[in-house]
Amino acid sequence: MVRVAQLGLLDTIPKELLWDEAPVAEHIWDANRMFVSRDVPAVQRRRVQVQLITGMISGARALGATMLLGLLPTPVQRLATRVGLVLEDAGPTMDFAGVAHRCFTINLSSKMH
């Protein structure tokens, strides 16, 4: 999705998501759309978010991914730290529907078990 947005093919997402051109390779996965509805109670939402993140990481590793790239809400950095991940900033902070977002990369190769 990030590369498609950079090419100007998504009207609702700006082209300037990343400081550089989005990397495209079989071992790089797009980690977008990992959101939980605000209708889910906050206590459950956190557990669901952790399950989404750990499930994405597990599936990506199992299929050979070494990097995730995603446009995510900036508060996800705190949650990622709780599950042992380091998110690296890959682009500027932008506002989507009143929520700060930015592109992050997660290097999985150093975290393979």
The total of structural domains in the chain comes to 1
Instruction: Give the residue numbers spanning the domain of 92.
Output: 25-111
Task: Assess contact for 104 and 70: CB atoms under 8 A.
Answer: yes
In a domain, residue 2? The reply is: no
Give yes or no for residue 1 having a pLDDT over 90. Answer: no
The neighbouring-strand residues paired with 103 are 71
Burial of 102 (0-12, 13-18, 19+ CB in 10 A): buried
| pLDDT bucket at 82, cuts 50 / 70 / 90 | confident
In a domain, residue 77? The reply is: yes
The bridge status of strand 67-73 relative to strand 28-30 is parallel
The secondary element (H helix, E strand) that includes residue 76 is helix 76-82
In a domain, residue 7? The reply is: no
Tell which residue, 13, 4, 10, 8, has the closest CA to residue 96: 13
DSSP string covering 29-67, please?
A: EE-------TTS-HHHHHHHHHHHHHHHHHHHHHTT--E
In a domain, residue 40? The reply is: yes
Q: Domain containing 106 — which CATH number?
A: 3.40.630.30
Tell which residue, 12, 2, 17, has the closest CA to residue 92: 17
pTM summary value: 0.82
Whole-number Å distance between alpha carbons of 49 and 78 = 12
Tell me the pLDDT tens digit for each residue of 25-78: 999 998 886 677 889 898 898 888 888 888 888 899 999 999 999 888 888 888
